[in-house]
Amino acid sequence: MIEEIEELRRQALAEIAAAVELQALEELRVRHLGRRSRLREAMSQLGSLPADQRPALGATSGGAQKAIQEALDQRRATLIEAAEGGTALDVTLPGHRPLRGRLHPLNSLAEELSSIFQRLGFAVVDGPEMEDEYHNFDALNTPADHPARDLHATFYLEGGGLLRTHTSTVQIRIMETTPPPVRVVAPGRCYRRDTVDATHHFVFHQIEGLYVDRHVSMADLKGTIEAMGRQLLGPQTKVRFRPHFFPFTEPSVEYDFSCSLCRGEGRGCRVCKGTGWVEISGAGMVDPAVFAAVGYDPERYTGFAFGAGIDRIAMIRYGIDDIRLFLESDLRFTRQF
């Protein structure tokens, strides 16, 4: 009998220690100390035992009763405290799903573009957004009275300087500090005093490319632009060069990709407005005047340069019809990419 009571005590204490709710604790109290519990039953039989056995059994069952009661009280206090302090760990509750961050669509596109060019052997570089007139215009063969300057509605900064209107500034910064050959791309923000509407913003993004070496030709430029178009919009993508003017390239072109949505068919396509082509940006062979500004020998070296509008490419690729969405930080929009 003594052994049985000791076993009862062990079991009760283990169950109490494992109880996580007050309700369960109350059930344990009834079961182990209640009027119809095995312990009470044993105690009620004490009187009928031979006198020499009574003290030992009495001590064992009394001790068990006391230990169980104490364990119940203690466990009860712990549970109440935990509930009030909010520290109870309920492993059955659903967990908090951690919010996963991700790249903004323009950043991930800039990274994708960068890696396309890295595979072609270009290094990724950057330059300052706060610039001076020299790097934004003069060194790019756009002197003060040049009409092309009017096309760039520029934010001038108090105390001199300006916000760069294009990433072409980085061409100058790189050539100033690096002897040829150079092969770089520079993604980044640009600013113009444009009136904001669905297709214009005062902040936009470009990636600039520059390749200078001996014997670089227009064919290299076209091949490079074509490789970009195919990797960005699919292997069927075609490239079209249209004659254009930029002060820092001669000859200069604007280039288009065949529309990836209608596959160049046009007819009612909302991305290419029915033309079958989407305009990306400008490019050309680096003007000798630009080489002169950075001290490269135009007799020895030739080069090509190009820009690409990252916002524009993102709009074409994802069928976005309002550039403002990129800068509104509305998670309902940015989470879709």
User: Which string of x and - marks every residue 152-191 that binds ligand DAH (by CB under 6 A)?
Assistant: --------------x-x-----------------------
> Is the separation of the CB atoms in 303 and 211 below 8 Å?
yes
Query: Which of 131, 208, 256, 311 is close enough to bind ligand DAH by CB under 6 A?
Result: 208
Count the residues in the chain.
Answer: 337
Does 247 participate in binding ligand DAH (rule CB under 6 A)?
no
Judged by CB under 6 A, how many residues of this single chain contact ligand DAH?
A: 12
Select from 94-102, 128-136, 304-312, 321-329 the region that touches ligand DAH (CB under 6 A).
304-312
Question: CA-to-CA distance for 133 and 260, rounded, in angstroms?
Answer: 38
Judged by CB, which is closer to ligand DAH: 102, or 242? 242
Question: CA-to-CA distance for 52 and 35, rounded, in angstroms?
Answer: 26
Judged by CB, which is closer to ligand DAH: 13, or 212? 212
Judged by CB, which is closer to ligand DAH: 61, or 136? 136
DSSP letters, 196-245, are PBTTB-SEEEEEEEEEEETT--HHHHHHHHHHHHHHHH-TT--EEEEEEE
Query: Which of 61, 249, 260, 302 is close enough to bind ligand DAH by CB under 6 A?
Result: 249
| Residue whose Cβ sits closest to ligand DAH | 282
196 contact partners, CB below 8 Å, separation of at least 6? 202, 324
Does 306 participate in binding ligand DAH (rule CB under 6 A)?
yes
Question: CA-to-CA distance for 82 and 87, rounded, in angstroms?
Answer: 5
Query: Which of 237, 307, 311, 315 is close enough to bind ligand DAH by CB under 6 A?
Result: 307
Strand segments (E) across the chain: 123-124, 130-131, 162-163, 182-191, 203-213, 239-246, 249-258, 277-286, 302-309
Does 211 participate in binding ligand DAH (rule CB under 6 A)?
no
Footprint of ligand DAH (CB under 6 A): 166, 168, 208, 246, 249, 281-284, 305-307
